[in-house]
Structure 1
Amino acid sequence: MTGAADDDPSGIATYSQAGAQFGYALGWTMILTFPLMSAIQLISARIGRVTGRGLAGNMEDVLARPVVTALVTLLFVANTINIGADLAAMGAAAELVTGLSAHATTVGFALLSLVLQIFVPYRRYSKLLKWLTLTLFAYVALVFIVPLDWKQLVAGLVIPRINGRAAVITIVAVFGTTISPYLFFWQSAQEVEGIAGRTGAKPLRDAPEQAQGEFHRMRFDTLFGMAVSNLVALAIIIGTAATLHATGTASIETAADAAKALRPVAGPFAFLLFSFGIIGTGLLAVPVLAGSAAYAVSDTRKWHGSLDDKPRQAIGFYSVIGLATVLGIGIDWSPLDPIKALFWSAVINGVVAVPIMAAMMLVVSRRQTMGDFTASPILLTLGWTATVLMAMAAAALAVVS
């Protein structure tokens, strides 16, 4: 689920823009981010499974409460913007195939998402929604159909190139939509909920005999999920490079522009296929975005909250979800086109991720918190490398801006 949610509408728009504007030149970002995003997600899962607490609660062990509150506030703001951008893109995608008002369908998707989150356990309906995300494999098929410039493709995968201000901004967006802060809180919270949902399961600090099997499960789940996520992301970059960039479309301004990349594989159904991908991943990702913010706020406020709870059992938790979703709808009435809003929400995530990742690394290194299950040297190296890389990208963005 985390891997599918990572290729949300913001990801689709960002990867499409990277391919359309720069061709194959930014393919290296996917090769670079795979081990780093896998490490960060493993660290998130490890913290939740070892301690039985969410990320925000654990961060209070290493940082002052006001600092943690500030980080959670940044997460809430970034997630709200991302929710709004995703909803607006879903509305625009629906307008492509139905002709209905994008504003009306945006509000409809927001209400549908809220109703599902409040009245249906996420685990239940996400099993159905995930099949809509299979439409994203049309981009993988696209790679095998359209002619590719193999020399440029291989060079783009192995030679990092950063050409100018626009490339720096796009790289930050790619990093931000790939290594996204909301996924950290989500995966940690899902491990905590997994403890409560399995008979005999306990935090690994209290039941070290369960560690070997649980770490094996987390490694397999995370590496497989992130590999699929990055495979689709790379296919989107390559596919849009071979179609949009190759035919002179260097900037994606609307959902219709982005959908045109799928014409070689879908023909007259390109808009329909694109819309299914945007709507399917959006319906999966919006609950993850709103839920991760609610988990983080609930951790800091010591509220009980879970997407498996009834509303009356977790009033504060669901209030955060409702507030984030309602505020997000306002993005649809902003001057930004939904595709541009998606791209800039990814840039914001790339900046917000830096302090949150640094706090996570302090937590997973702390023996008082993790007991005998602090991260391995390899995991620590990859985690800090990812943090430094994101910080450098954010600093470069500040310079070029």
Structure 2
Amino acid sequence: MRSWFRLGPATLVAAAFIGPGTVVTASLAGANYGYALLWALLFSVLATMILQEMAARLGIVTGMGLGENLRQLVAQPALKFLLFLLVIAAIVIGNSAYQGGNITGASLGADAIWGDTLIISSIRAYTGLNPWALLIGTLAVSVLWHGNYRLIERCLIGLVLLMSLAFVSTMLLTRPDYGAMLQGLLLPAIPRGATLTVIALIGTTVVPYSLFLHAASSANKWQGVHNKAEALQQSNADLRTSIPLGGLISLAVVSTAATAYFGRGLAIENAADLAVSLEPLFGQRATYLMALGLLAAGLSSAVTAPLAAAYALRGILQLSNLHFRLTWLTIILIGVVVSSLGLRPVSVIWFAQVANGILLPVITFCLLAAMNMAILGRYRNNWRQNIVGGLVFVISLLLSGRSLWLAFAS
């Protein structure tokens, strides 16, 4: 019997794109523009499903991650060198910079739930460091160091389900306007000044490092499986479940912020503000649920971001298992230091955003080329998949061009 819904490697993608950055972006979208930008979320979910289906199919059929396939696809030495530099800049260096935000976001959630206990206060007073960052970094290292792929997948499935429960329950407690929500989903509109927010909503969902993560994790999941058609059916069922679930989480955050802030003349700076401000409006339960969702979002991204960077680097540079572990361990340690000391590496983040803006259309184009390789046989892209993928490529090119212009203009 064919399964239409399941949870698997695509859950890692949902766990990756629902991080503190996405929660903050979605909160600001709802607070500033209500439900008007929900259509951008719907588009980003559809675009993510299109690209991730190709990445998963590539991993399952070839038994290799995207990095390994790119190394074989790009034969010209100069082009290969440029591609490698882009991947290292955007994914490895970029995720190192963003890891501090992931751990900080999880720390804010933990602090909103448990507050300054005696132990936490003592550690902070004597060391000057953020104890929550140390604990969350230790948890991330523990999951990746001791866990095989199956354990990592189960941990992240648990975190995604926890995020879903927390954010959707918070949305229901705030009683959103379902009519306005439906209108925002189906009728595209860009209010005055909302262009940057639209780009941010799409950019936090359709990200290049998730393609490396999904291709490699799918290759691991179905390694040695001879029935490729059945494996692809299972992967597609996983996509139909996990990616829309991630979209539902983002929708819940936008809707909660819209209900709590839009039209009330209130300002919001980050997701922690949203968690704290919900209590006088909707009670203590809403505050705790929102904080719990932020904790789960930060922890899930604190695991997936270094893992994705390690997969990308291993595929391209043919790293050993030891160097694979050292890659994600280094990224986690950088994140802990950045979060503990309250640093904000603005220049590094700017550099990573520029590299990401260049990398997304490049990787999308390379993925489309890889999906037409003869080695895939009957699993190559058909003409419909190429047209849809080409459309996503053009849109990613336009969005990236706009992001790069804004990065240099600022």
TM over 0.5: yes
Q: CA deviation at 1:162?
A: 2.8
Report the secondary structure of 2:380's partner residue.
Answer: coil
Which of 188, 199, 209 aligns to 1:160? It is 188
Residues 300/168 of structure 1: CA separation in 2 closer, same or farther (3 Å cut): same
- Counting only pairs closer than 5 Å after superposition, residues 226-245 of structure 1 correspond to structure 2 as 226-245=243-262
Q: CA deviation at 1:146?
A: 3.5
Q: CA deviation at 1:298?
A: 1.0
| Equivalent residue letter for 2:367 | M
Which of 370, 373, 379 aligns to 2:385? It is 379
User: For the Cα contact (< 8 Å) 2:170–2:289, is it kept in 1?
Assistant: no
Alignment partners' CA distance in 1, 2:63 and 2:330: 27
Residues 262/123 of structure 1: CA separation in 2 closer, same or farther (3 Å cut): farther
Q: Who is 1:328 aligned against?
A: 335
Which of 49, 65, 81 aligns to 1:38? It is 49
Q: Who is 2:373 aligned against?
A: 366
Residues 372/319 of structure 1: CA separation in 2 closer, same or farther (3 Å cut): same
Residues 327/144 of structure 1: CA separation in 2 closer, same or farther (3 Å cut): closer
Residues 35/372 of structure 1: CA separation in 2 closer, same or farther (3 Å cut): same
Deviation per CA, 1:173-205, whole angstroms, max 9, x where unpaired? 211221122211111011221243xxx525xxx
Q: CA deviation at 1:293?
A: 0.9
* Range with greater deviation from structure 2 (377-386 or 290-299): 377-386
Deviation per CA, 1:326-363, whole angstroms, max 9, x where unpaired? 2223442456599xx99998898566423222221121
Report the secondary structure of 1:365's partner residue.
Answer: coil
Which of 154, 161, 164 aligns to 1:136? It is 164
Q: Normalization by structure 2: what TM-score?
A: 0.82
Q: Who is 1:67 aligned against?
A: 82
Residues 122/108 of structure 1: CA separation in 2 closer, same or farther (3 Å cut): farther
Which of 8, 14, 36 aligns to 1:25? It is 36
Alignment partners' CA distance in 1, 2:351 and 2:28: 11
Residues 90/193 of structure 1: CA separation in 2 closer, same or farther (3 Å cut): same
RMSD over aligned Cα, in angstroms?
3.1
Report the secondary structure of 1:179's partner residue.
Answer: coil
Alignment partners' CA distance in 2, 1:67 and 1:180: 19
| Equivalent residue letter for 1:201 | V
Q: CA deviation at 1:266?
A: 6.5
Alignment partners' CA distance in 1, 2:337 and 2:307: 19
User: For the Cα contact (< 8 Å) 2:174–2:282, is it kept in 1?
Assistant: no
Residues 295/129 of structure 1: CA separation in 2 closer, same or farther (3 Å cut): closer
Report the secondary structure of 2:381's partner residue.
Answer: coil
Alignment partners' CA distance in 1, 2:345 and 2:169: 28
Runs of 4+ that moved beyond 6 A:
341-348
Matched, 1:180 2:207: yes
Report the secondary structure of 1:390's partner residue.
Answer: helix
Q: Who is 1:205 aligned against?
A: none
Matched, 1:98 2:115: yes
Deviation per CA, 1:351-394, whole angstroms, max 9, x where unpaired? 64232222211211222x42332122332222222222122122
| Equivalent residue letter for 1:244 | Y
Residues 117/148 of structure 1: CA separation in 2 closer, same or farther (3 Å cut): closer
Aligned residues: 377
| Equivalent residue letter for 1:297 | L
Q: Normalization by structure 1: what TM-score?
A: 0.83
Gaps of 5+ in 2: 1-10
- Counting only pairs closer than 5 Å after superposition, residues 261-276 of structure 1 correspond to structure 2 as 262-263=278-279, 267-276=283-292
